[in-house]
Structure 1
Amino acid sequence: MAISATTHLNFRGDARAALEFYRSVFGGRSTVVSYGDLGMPKDLPDADRVVFGQVTADNGFAVMAYDVPGQAPAAAAPTATTRENGMTLTGERFFVSVRGDTDEEVRVLWERLAEGADLIEEYGPSPWAPGFGMLTDRFGVTWILDVATPYAG
């Protein structure tokens, strides 16, 4: 069993630049997937923004990031997490991202964290992972749990 927790930063259009900066500082490899890469029509305003990004280095450094969909600069960000047009919108500047190797191990963690939590996205299959869910725990911390899969794009 392998579980890891990674800070997940939320940006408003500059996730790609931030990830490149962090890679230049800490070294390692970056993965950047846009909304368009996952099927959003390329002519929509957010298609080139980051839906999944990460930097990982052999020295143990890891950070994840994405661009909150449909958001202008931070001053216009919402103050709570909501679902709109099938997308999660949040004013949170970070999440804690927990990844596991199997659906079984991640699902157990999800069930434990979900006690007394506000569910944002129920745990289940997603276009990018066999298991994904998002919740805000009883202490106000927003968590993303998913099954780690390599990006094949």
Structure 2
Amino acid sequence: MAAVNPYLNFGGNTEEVFNFYKSVFGGEFEVLARFGEMPEEYQTDKSQSAKIMHVSLPIGGGSVLMGSDRPESYGAITKGDNFYVSIQADSEAEATKLFNGLSAGGQVVMPLEKSFWGAFFGMFNDKFGVQWMINFDYNKK
């Protein structure tokens, strides 16, 4: 397994939050992508286009702090449900094994599949209520 990292969700202020974290940890964002940069067929709400779809900030020791503005269609942010454990897998096979194993008895939020950003990605809540993201990045083989 390549890495396990925290993934934080916010209700529209992710850019402010991550600029604060950047001022504390230092460094530069690896990625800062907005919903409006998504391919047209994936955009569901144009009013969300300036919000952060994904941001990643290396914080040392191989750890990366990641986050996004939670789309309104996912429901309101409640303290305690605004984070995921994000696993960066080393292969599609490992991603599939982890996704299938950890999601058993839970609720799949986004099926594990190839994404437009060049990854094999899925999201789910396990049977204990823990929120997970599984990702294999084809560009980092």
TM-score by length of 2: 0.82
Structure 1's 137 and 106: CA in aligned 2 closer, same or farther, altered over 3 A? same
State how far apart, in whole Å, the 2-side matches of 1:129 and 1:116 are: 28
**Could you list the per-position Cα deviations for residues 15-55 of structure 1 after superposition, in whole angstroms to 9, with x for gaps in the alignment?**
111111111111222121000111357x9211010111111
Partner of 2:16: 17
Counterparts of 1:54 and 1:78, CA distance in 2: 20
Give 1:119 shift: 1.1
Judge conservation of contact 1:28–1:58 (CA < 8 Å) in 2.
Answer: no
Instruction: Give SS of 1:9's match.
Output: strand
- Residues 29 and 57, structure 1, Cα contact 8 Å, conserved in 2: no
Gaps of 5+ in 1: 80-90
**Does residue 107 of structure 1 match 2:106?**
no
2:58 is aligned to 56
CA deviations over 1:82-123 (Å, ceiling 9, x no partner): xxxxxxxxx821111111232122111112112211111111
Partner in structure 2 of residue 44 of structure 1: 46
Alignment of 1:4-153 (within 5 A): 4-30=3-29, 31-39=31-39, 44-70=46-72, 77=76, 92-148=81-137
Q: 1:78 to 1:26 in 2, by over 3 A?
A: closer
CA distance in structure 2 between the partners assigned to 1:54 and 1:124 by the alignment:
21
RMSD: 2.5
Q: Which runs of 5+ in 2 are unaligned?
A: none
Does the CA-based 8 Å contact 1:8-1:64 persist in structure 2? Answer: yes
Name which structure has the greater RCO, CA cutoff 8 Å, separation 6+. 2
Residue 149 of structure 1, CA deviation: 5.0
Distance in 2 (CA, whole Å) between partners of 1:4 and 1:93 is 20
Aligned residues: 134
The TM-score with structure 1 as length reference comes to 0.76
Give the Cα separation in 1 of the matches to 2:92 and 2:25. Answer: 30
What is the match of residue 84 of structure 1? none
- Amino acid paired to 1:32: L
